[in-house]
Every structure is written in C-alpha cells, then in structure tokens.
C-alpha cells in the first residue's frame, strides 16, 4: 500500500446524488469521496477535511461513512443537533471528526438563535478537544468574537472569514477579525469565488496578505471542492484554487501551509 502524501486540503464536501437533501440554494449532484481523493492526489495532496454540507442538515451519515472508509486518512467537521448524545459524539470522534460547524450564510443555516446554539454546543466540543468552524459574513464577526470571548473553544473561520473583494480597508469587521486573531482563531484560505471576486482572484491578494499578517501560522488551505456555486461544466480547475495562496504569500510559505497535519485535526 502506498502511503498517502502528507499534504492537506482542509475544506471539501462529498455528496450522494440519491441522498435526501434540504431545500436550499442548490441541489447537490453526485460527488463521492473517491472523486476528490483522485483530484487531490494529482497535485500531491493525500489528506482531506470533509465538511458537512448545509443541504444535509444534521444528518452526518454520508460524511461519517466516508471517514470510516478512509481508515484514519481524513478528518471531518459535522453539524450537530443541540440534543446530540455523548455516545454519538464518541462515534464521530473515532471516525475522525474534530469540529462542528455553524453556518450564518446558507439559507438552511442558522441565521437566528446562533448564540444559544453556540453556548449549548461549546461544552461538548471542549470536552473532546474539538473546535468550532464558522461560515459567516464580515458583519457577523463582532458577534462571533464576543461569543468566543466567553470560552476557550477554538474558532476557525471559513472562506477568508468572509472578507470579500469589496470590503473597505477600515470596515469594522477588520477590528473584530483582529480580536479573534488575538484570541487564537484560525482562518481558512478557501472559497475565493464566494468573495465577490473572479478568477484568477487578483483582487483578493491584498486581503489574503492582510489576513495572513493577523493570523500568522494559524492559516489553513481548502479547495471548497466540488464548488457548488458552479455548474458542472464550469467548475474551476482544482490546482487553480491554490494559485492565489502562492501569489499572495510566496511558494515556500504556501507549501508550509499544507504539508503537515494541522494541530486542529490531530
């Protein structure tokens, strides 16, 4: 058996075209784990972080099955019910889950009552050494910073913390983001096409550099495969989603980003 290469893609999704999905802004096509494993392997990536898609709600079955088949090779981020039982969490942890996710953006996410959800879930995550991942917009960062000030629970912000191409350099969100960085939060360099930018995403390079200056080594890269914002024939090339990181930070810093398992997912 060939040992998988140590590089990581820290944000992908898997879909079963026959699985029940919640009504939302897209209908998932069939995108199995084997497809993204093959795509990532072509550029030397052997490990993935599978993130629960919003359209499956709290039914993490597909993600857990994929993790179990990977035999420890990958990690997972789930969406949890408030009433989740300790035994369920233990099963998820054994499969490779290391985080839960709260979604302030998707139509089937948690636009209301997120503070209560956060406070109910935080003790469960802390007990297992998990972290919390947020899919949020810039206007949500102040609330997220206030919530994380209540607990040592580690925060991870998806998709450049929502800092889009048209955000002002003095927008209040930058202050909130700096506060989160000072408390040890992490940011995923991912989802470029969600940030009001078009390929090759030159407009985002100053933002990537500014975020990197705030967060230092606490950066993760993710492809956001299979890019649900695009029709199948228009999906961006996998390696093109790595290019903005190299352009913004340089090849050496970019390689260091993905060449060892992030401590968050051990």
| pLDDT tops 80 at residue 239 | yes
Encoded tokens for 141: 């960062």
| pLDDT tops 50 at residue 233 | yes
User: Across the chain, what does the average pLDDT equal?
Assistant: 91
Give pTM, 2 decimals. Answer: 0.93
- The verdict on residue 2 lying in a domain is no
Choice between 1 and 159, residue whose per-residue pLDDT is larger: 159
- The verdict on residue 241 lying in a domain is yes
Stretch 85-95: mean pLDDT: 96
> Over the stretch 184-218, which tens digit does the pLDDT of each residue have?
999 999 999 999 999 999 999 999 999 999 999 99
Q: Which residue's entry shows tokens 């889950």?
A: 97
Identify the pLDDT of residue 228: 79
Domain that holds residue 254: 7-265
Stretch 29-44: mean pLDDT: 91
**In a 3-state reduction of DSSP, which class is residue 8?**
strand
Total number of domains in the chain: 1
> Over the stretch 126-150, which tens digit does the pLDDT of each residue have?
999 999 999 999 999 999 999 999 9
- The verdict on residue 95 lying in a domain is yes
Per-residue exposure over 180-200, b if at least 16 CB sit within 10 Å of its own CB, e if not: bbeeebbbbbbbbbbbebeee
Q: How far apart are CA 161 and CA 231, in angstroms?
A: 25
- The verdict on residue 76 lying in a domain is yes
| pLDDT tops 90 at residue 14 | yes
Stretch 115-132: mean pLDDT: 96
Identify the pLDDT of residue 109: 66
- The verdict on residue 21 lying in a domain is yes
CB 28 within 8 A of CB 225: no
| pLDDT tops 60 at residue 224 | yes
Q: What is the CATH number of the domain that holds 192?
A: 3.20.20.140
Which residues are 103's β-sheet partners?
135
Encoded tokens for 215: 């967060």
Stretch 237-254: mean pLDDT: 95
| pLDDT tops 60 at residue 21 | no
Confidence band, pLDDT 50/70/90 cuts, at residue 1: very low
| pLDDT tops 90 at residue 227 | no
- The verdict on residue 91 lying in a domain is yes
- The verdict on residue 1 lying in a domain is no
């Amino acid at each position: 058996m060939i040992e998988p290469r140590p590089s990581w893609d820290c944000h992908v999704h898997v879909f079963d075209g026959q699985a029940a999905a919640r009504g939302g802004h897209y209908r998932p096509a069939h995108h199995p784990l084997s497809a993204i494993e093959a795509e990532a392997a072509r550029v030397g990536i052997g490990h993935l972080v599978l993130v629960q898609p919003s359209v499956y709600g709290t039914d993490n079955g597909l993600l857990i099955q994929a993790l179990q088949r990977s035999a420890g090779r990958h990690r997972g981020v789930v969406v949890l019910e408030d009433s989740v039982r300790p035994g369920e969490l233990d099963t998820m942890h054994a499969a490779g889950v290391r985080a839960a996710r709260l979604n302030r953006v998707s139509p089937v996410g948690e636009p209301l009552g997120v503070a209560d959800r956060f406070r109910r879930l935080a003790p469960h995550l802390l007990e297992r050494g998990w972290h919390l991942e947020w899919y949020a917009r810039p206007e949500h960062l102040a609330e997220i910073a206030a919530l994380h000030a209540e607990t040592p629970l580690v925060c991870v912000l998806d998709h450049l913390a929502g800092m889009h191409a048209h955000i002002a350099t003095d927008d209040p969100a930058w202050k909130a983001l700096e506060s989160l960085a000072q408390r040890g939060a992490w940011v995923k360099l991912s989802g470029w096409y969600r940030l009001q930018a078009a390929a090759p995403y030159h407009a985002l390079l100053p933002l990537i550099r500014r975020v990197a200056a705030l967060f230092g080594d606490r950066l993760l890269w993710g492809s956001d495969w299979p890019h649900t914002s695009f029709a199948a024939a228009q999906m961006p090339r996998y390696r093109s989603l790595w290019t903005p990181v190299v352009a913004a930070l340089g090849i050496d810093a970019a390689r260091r980003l993905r060449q060892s398992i992030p401590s968050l997912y051990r």
